[in-house]
Chain A
Amino acid sequence: MSAVESTDVLVIGSGFGGAIAAYHLAAGGAKVVVLERGPWVTADEFDHDFLLGSSYTRVFDFVVGDGMSILGGNCVGGGSVVYFATMPRAPGFVFERHGSIGRRMWPAAISRETLDPWYERVEQALPVTQQRWENVPYAGGLWAAACNHAGRTANPAPSAVDVDLCTNCNWMMAGCKFDAKRSLLLNYLPGALAHGAEIRPLHEVQHLTRTGDGYRVHYRIVDDEDYRVLHDTGAIDAKIVIMAAGTGATPVILRRSEPHLGAMPPAVGRYFSGNGERLNTAVFDEDRVRDVLGLERPDGQAYAGYQIGRGPVVANWDHLDGSLPEHERFSLEQLFFPPGLGTILAQVPDGTDPLWFGRDKKEMLRRWQSWLTIFIMSEDDNEGVFGEPPETGNAVRLSQQMLGTGPLRYEPTENTWRGWNLADAEIKDILERDGLARVAPWTNDLVGAYTVHPLSSCRIGDDPATSALDDRHELRGHPGIFVTDGSAVPGALTVNPALTISALAERAMPGIVRAARERGVAVRYAGSLPEGEAASRRPVHI
């Protein structure tokens, strides 16, 4: 056998969990290699184009499961390249949740108060800024005005978008060609590179084996155009492995490694949460928008601005109330969803079957610019379970990019449905008031429920029976393997999770550095933050 390459730290995945780990370990002096299964695409290559093979389909991964489909990132920068950059901290009650296990599901060491300093670090590094009403796009303004009309509140949510650079093109799911969206390509990843880390795109990790003092990570090279085609195999030895392949992939890699590493903790690939996500689409009556809400654009139209903006900007947080029972708390966020994936699941309000295709659906599409999508993030029951891993990767790929089927099974419980039903009713009450709009939830019949924020498939906790990781993110029974992506989050957060995933990764770093030192790696925890590029050095308005 030819000599196998070796490194101090091997990071699997370059999204929030991987990039933050790569930065701190490299900054502290460790030799770091990052393996990313997707391509390395930069701002000048981000297209405004739905064409199959453009950046939109290269950087996304849509995996259809049984009862739940996951939309995630697939590129250097991971979810940060495709996300909509809404970055609130999770409300305090979330950390006290019991979920389905009859006890607090978060580790005793973590609460909102103890996580706040780590949130603050990420907010500085990206940076995250508070949005102002003066630059809320039409869709967010419409949601705010409708909430206000119904006696509710509405908040412009904190965001990692530099509004001065943003053109409100709403192409952020294809990567931001203006570098207005503060993805990891602008802060943690260049910081890691500056400290000597290597990032290798199109390297898909398949499984891990043991070596004398660490682990061997086995990968396949992915074809850069047709991801269904895998090329050479390879392996790298490392003393420490950081798993950050994403909630839909980390447990799959670990389960595939089980014959080599020994039994995994029972929570690996269980307790998956879709962050309680569900969507409703409203079709507005433009005259009522003008007459009832008094809204008018400079060009004289009332709304007709679904396409304009930058994803979700305004959220309703009236049901983020810790005094409410668990599973009855949720946020409602205005959202843009591009055509294609964002239209087929939308159902005709008050129609007759079929609601997702046919004549009535086509008529609904004619009014697409008057649509508003409302995004529910609630408390589900961690009821997702991963089945047997596919032969390679985390899915059986159908298309050259983006589309495949995976082993996740998710059957929503009554608790999950309670939250969804309450949220659906709340949206209807707000938006159908005084004839403003007609609204219907997306169908779950085609690809199951649908999440853009998969969580908890390999979660932290204090109870070994229901958590795969200890409170330092180390995989139980497999010292030296740490998990820092969304799979480590114990449960649904009721808000967008990227900031919490990142804060948890930041919090885990001193402990991971200590573990590396114990294995003979010359590394220290410097506690620095990446300098990033120009925009992150500007004043942070928080």
Chain B
Amino acid sequence: MPPNRHDTDSTTILTVEAFADTILPGEKRDPSDRAVAGAAPGPGAVAAGAIDLLELPGGGLAGTLPGLADALNGHAAELGAAADPDVPPFVALDFEQRTRLVQRLTAPDHPEKAMWVALALFCNMAFDSAAHLNTAAALEAGHPGLLTIGYRQPEPDGVWRFPSYSYGRRLADVHPATTSGGSPA
């Protein structure tokens, strides 16, 4: 299922990118980048492919992205941030303002919490598990999120094996009430 990036309008993409960048921030792709706030060194959720993952039809959020972007921009506009004709209202917020708004929207008592948590979940997955890509291929291609967390390379057949895995010695006394089969008494 290839991403259908061209079906999503630029306002939606910019807004959702700004949300993803709030969840796991990264450096700007170029000096003119507005969606990515540049709040942290190295690539963040946007560079990791958050939009590609969110646009997969199987994920369940692809059809809702324009509505989510509208809602997010509505909340941002309510904050009274200075209007910027060049970008959507959420993108116009600085990183700290974006962060505070996402905190409010994902708080336990917010009526829209479920949809913002779902959006955040997918942004997070794009970064640290690259759920839109074959994992071995993503590592091979240098997926920035998998590299950031230090996910190890598979063996040449694309399968993970760790022949060295144990300190190989007793490291504690077992509980005195352990049965002969190894269970609690």
A residues adjacent to B (C-beta < 8 A): 48-53, 57, 64, 88-92, 123, 128, 130-131, 133-138, 141, 144-145, 147-148, 152-158, 167-171, 177, 226, 228, 295, 297-299, 304-305, 307-309, 314, 317-318, 320, 331, 338-340, 343-344, 353-354, 357-359, 361-363, 365-366, 368-369, 397-401, 403, 405, 445-447, 495, 542
Cα(A141)–Cα(B168), bound, Å = 8
B131 within 8 A of A: yes
In the bound complex, residues from chain B placing their C-beta under 8 Å from that of A309 are 162, 165
Binary interface encoding of chain B residues 16-37 relative to chain A, with 1 for a CB under 8 A from any of its CBs, else 0: 0000001111000000000000
Q: State the Cβ distance, B95 to closest chain A Cβ, in Å.
A: 8
Q: State the Cβ distance, A264 to closest chain B Cβ, in Å.
A: 28
B111 within 8 A of A: no
B130 within 8 A of A: yes
In the bound complex, residues from chain A placing their C-beta under 8 Å from that of B125 are 50, 339-340, 344
Q: Which of B4-12, B76-84, B133-141 contacts A (4 or more CB under 8 A)?
A: B133-141
B154 within 8 A of A: yes
A-B contact pairs, 22 of them (CB 8 A): A48-B160, A51-B132, A53-B1, A88-B182, A88-B183, A134-B169, A137-B166, A155-B175, A169-B162, A308-B152, A340-B128, A343-B124, A344-B124, A354-B102, A359-B25, A366-B150, A369-B149, A369-B150, A403-B60, A446-B106, A447-B117, A542-B182
In the bound complex, residues from chain B placing their C-beta under 8 Å from that of A446 are 106, 117, 120
In the bound complex, residues from chain A placing their C-beta under 8 Å from that of B173 are 148, 153-154
Q: Across the interface, name the chain B residue whose C-beta is closest to A152.
A: B172
Indicate if the CB atoms of B108 and A445 lie closer than 8 Å.
yes
In the bound complex, residues from chain B placing their C-beta under 8 Å from that of A331 are 184
Cα(A50)–Cα(B163), bound, Å = 22
In the bound complex, residues from chain A placing their C-beta under 8 Å from that of B176 are 153
Contact A91/B185 with A48-B136, A51-B134, A366-B148 known, Cβ cut-off 8 Å: yes
Q: Across the interface, name the chain A residue whose C-beta is closest to B44.
A: A362
Q: CB within 8 A of B151: which of A148, A339, A359?
A: A339
In the bound complex, residues from chain A placing their C-beta under 8 Å from that of B1 are 53
Indicate if the CB atoms of B22 and A400 lie closer than 8 Å.
no
Cα(A439)–Cα(B152), bound, Å = 24
Cα(A397)–Cα(B60), bound, Å = 8
In the bound complex, residues from chain A placing their C-beta under 8 Å from that of B162 are 167-169, 308-309
Q: CB within 8 A of B161: which of A52, A169, A297?
A: A169
In the bound complex, residues from chain A placing their C-beta under 8 Å from that of B53 are 52
Indicate if the CB atoms of B171 and A141 lie closer than 8 Å.
yes
By secondary structure, the A interface counts as loop
Q: Across the interface, name the chain B residue whose C-beta is closest to A169.
A: B160
Indicate if the CB atoms of A138 and B167 lie closer than 8 Å.
yes
Indicate if the CB atoms of B128 and A368 lie closer than 8 Å.
yes
Interface bracket on B: 35 or more
The 10 closest A-B pairs by CB, nearest first: A154-B172, A400-B58, A148-B172, A130-B182, A368-B149, A340-B129, A167-B161, A89-B183, A144-B171, A398-B60
Contact A542/B180 with A307-B152, A362-B44, A368-B150 known, Cβ cut-off 8 Å: yes
Cα(A78)–Cα(B111), bound, Å = 34
In the bound complex, residues from chain A placing their C-beta under 8 Å from that of B158 are 48
In the bound complex, residues from chain B placing their C-beta under 8 Å from that of A308 are 152, 162, 165
In the bound complex, residues from chain B placing their C-beta under 8 Å from that of A399 are 58-60
Indicate if the CB atoms of A317 and B117 lie closer than 8 Å.
no
Extra pairs beyond A154-B174, A405-B114 (19, CB < 8 Å): A50-B130, A52-B59, A57-B131, A88-B182, A128-B181, A135-B166, A137-B166, A138-B165, A144-B171, A155-B175, A158-B181, A167-B161, A339-B149, A340-B125, A344-B125, A359-B25, A359-B40, A403-B60, A542-B181
In the bound complex, residues from chain A placing their C-beta under 8 Å from that of B42 are 362
Q: Which of B49-64 contact A (CB under 8 A)?
A: 53, 56-61
Q: CB within 8 A of A155: which of B59, B149, B159, B182?
A: B182
Contact A339/B171 with A153-B176, A157-B182, A171-B160 known, Cβ cut-off 8 Å: no
Q: State the Cβ distance, A152 to closest chain B Cβ, in Å.
A: 7
In the bound complex, residues from chain A placing their C-beta under 8 Å from that of B174 are 153-156
Q: Across the interface, name the chain B residue whose C-beta is closest to A357.
A: B23
Q: State the Cβ distance, A392 to closest chain B Cβ, in Å.
A: 16
B121 within 8 A of A: yes
In the bound complex, residues from chain A placing their C-beta under 8 Å from that of B24 are 357-358, 361-362, 365
Indicate if the CB atoms of A343 and B128 lie closer than 8 Å.
yes
Q: Across the interface, name the chain A residue whose C-beta is closest to B152.
A: A307
Contact A358/B22 with A308-B165, A340-B131 known, Cβ cut-off 8 Å: yes
Indicate if the CB atoms of A89 and B132 lie closer than 8 Å.
no
In the bound complex, residues from chain B placing their C-beta under 8 Å from that of A340 are 124-125, 128-129, 131
B68 within 8 A of A: no
Indicate if the CB atoms of A366 and B22 lie closer than 8 Å.
no
In the bound complex, residues from chain A placing their C-beta under 8 Å from that of B71 are none
Cα(A314)–Cα(B163), bound, Å = 19
Indicate if the CB atoms of A354 and B168 lie closer than 8 Å.
no
Cα(A20)–Cα(B89), bound, Å = 58
Name the residue among A137, A157, A314, A398 with the largest chain B CB count within 10 angstroms.
A398
Indicate if the CB atoms of A153 and B165 lie closer than 8 Å.
no
Q: State the Cβ distance, B24 to closest chain A Cβ, in Å.
A: 5
Indicate if the CB atoms of B135 and A50 lie closer than 8 Å.
yes
Contact A357/B120 with A144-B171, A343-B128, A362-B25 known, Cβ cut-off 8 Å: yes
Indicate if the CB atoms of B178 and A136 lie closer than 8 Å.
no
Cα(A151)–Cα(B106), bound, Å = 40
Cα(A153)–Cα(B178), bound, Å = 11
Indicate if the CB atoms of B166 and A318 lie closer than 8 Å.
no
Indicate if the CB atoms of B129 and A338 lie closer than 8 Å.
yes
Q: Across the interface, name the chain B residue whose C-beta is closest to A94.
A: B184
B99 within 8 A of A: yes
In the bound complex, residues from chain B placing their C-beta under 8 Å from that of A136 are 166-167, 171
In the bound complex, residues from chain A placing their C-beta under 8 Å from that of B60 are 228, 397-400, 403
In the bound complex, residues from chain A placing their C-beta under 8 Å from that of B179 are 89
Q: CB within 8 A of B131: which of A48, A51, A152?
A: A51
In the bound complex, residues from chain A placing their C-beta under 8 Å from that of B185 are 91-92
Q: CB within 8 A of B22: which of A51, A357, A403?
A: A357
Q: CB within 8 A of A358: which of B25, B58, B118, B164?
A: B25
Contact A359/B58 with A91-B185, A168-B162 known, Cβ cut-off 8 Å: no
Indicate if the CB atoms of A354 and B124 lie closer than 8 Å.
no
Cα(A48)–Cα(B134), bound, Å = 9
B87 within 8 A of A: no
In the bound complex, residues from chain B placing their C-beta under 8 Å from that of A226 are 58
Indicate if the CB atoms of A344 and B170 lie closer than 8 Å.
no
